[in-house]
Structure 1
Amino acid sequence: MEILLVIDMQQKYMDSYESDLLERVNMRIQEAVAADIPVVYVRNVGKIENEDKYVLAEGLDVVSEYVFAKRWPSAFSSEEFAQFIERLKVDTINMVGVDGRCCVARSAMDARKRGYAVRLYLDSVAAINDNFYLKELPEMQETGVETIAD
């Protein structure tokens, strides 16, 4: 089974990225819905006392109740997320979101270490620092992360 994992598409971060990123991510979400692929959201919540400031982005298509909180860069730092995809018997994780250099990259690398196939949709991933992100892409590809450029 495969899922679409939407990483850290949160209102707090949207001003740091291209204005059409949300539209591109929503397009991937709608493609997943049409293909009957579950859409899972992971959001960074920072410190416990600030959790309510880390809401999903306005205008993000939220098509499932599968929303998990994490406090560290990798989605797998959320035990609830890791257990959920294990229960679903997920074998392939399609990833979109931010930040390509940090949270997306860490999630992709951790997914590969755990044996998942990973597809990274480059048109729906953004990074604040493209130089670092572009250096990380070959490292991710070497571990088996498939990058989709269209």
Structure 2
Amino acid sequence: MEILLVIDIQQKYMNSYDPNLLERVNVRIHEAIASDMPVVYVRNVGKLENEDKYVLAEGLDVVSEFVFAKRWPSAFSSEEFVQFIERLKVDTINMVGVDGRCCVARTAHGAVKRGYKVRIYLDSVAAKNDNFYLKELPEMRDAGVEIIAD
């Protein structure tokens, strides 16, 4: 089973990225719905006492109740997320979100190490530091991540 994983599209972060990113992520969400692909969200929540400050972005199409909190860059740091995708028998994870160099990249590497097929949609991923991100892309590709450029 395939899922679309939406990583850290949160109000707190959106001012750091292209204003059209949210629209492109929403397009991917609706493509997933049209393909009967579950849409799963992870959000970084930082320190426990600040969790309520880390809400999903205004305007993000939240089309499922599958929302998981993580405290570290990789989505695989959330035990609830890991258990959820194991129950679904996920084999392919399609990724969109921020930050491409950190949370998206760490989740992609973690997924590949766990045996998942991984696709990253470049039009729906953003990074604060493009130089580091562009260096990370070939490393992800070499690790087995499929980079979709359209």
Superposition TM-score tier, normalisation by shorter sequence? over 0.9
Give 1:51's aligned residue.
51
Residue aligning to 1:113: 113
Q: Percent identity?
A: 84
Given the alignment of the two structures, is residue 90 of structure 1 paired with residue 90 of structure 2, yes or no? yes
Q: What SS is found at the alignment partner of 2:100?
A: coil
Residue type at the aligned position of 1:30: H
Q: How far apart are the structure 1 equivalents of 2:107 and 2:25?
A: 17
Which whole-Å CA distance do the structure 1 matches of 2:148 and 2:142 have between them? 15
C-alpha distance after superposition, 1:34-58 (max 9, x if no partner): 1000000000000000000000000
Task: Give the TM-score taking structure 2 as reference length.
Answer: 1.00
Counterparts of 1:1-150 in structure 2, within 5 Å, are 1-150=1-150
Q: Distance in 1 between matches of 2:27 and 2:8?
A: 16
Paired positions, count: 150
Per-residue deviation, 1:102: 0.1
CA RMSD for the aligned pairs? 0.2
Deviation at 1:90, TM superposition (A): 0.2
CA distance in 2, matches of 1:137, 1:19: 22
Q: Deviations over 1:88-121 (max 9, x none)?
A: 0000000000000000000000000000000000
TM-score, normalising length: structure 1: 1.00
Q: C-alpha distance in 2, partners of 1:70/1:19?
A: 24
Separation of aligned partners in 2, 1:5 and 1:14: 17
Q: Secondary structure at the match of 1:81?
A: helix
Deviation at 1:123, TM superposition (A): 0.2
Opposite residue 89 of structure 1, the aligned amino acid is K
Q: For residues 39-94 of structure 1, give each alpha carbon's deviation from its aligned partner in whole angstroms, at most 9, with x where no partner exists.
A: 00000000000000000000000000000000000000000001100000000000
Separation in structure 2 between the aligned mates of residue 123 and residue 20 of structure 1, nearest angstrom: 10
Detail structure 1 runs of 4+ shifted over 6 Å in the superposition.
none
Which 5+ residue runs of structure 2 have no aligned equivalent? Answer: none
Counterparts of 1:19 and 1:9 in 2: how far apart (Å)? Answer: 12
Residues of 2 paired with 1:118 and 1:65: CA distance? 22
Could you list the runs of 5+ residues in structure 1 that have no partner in the other structure?
A: none
1:52 maps to amino acid? D
Q: Secondary structure at the match of 1:11?
A: coil
SS in 2 for 1:101: helix
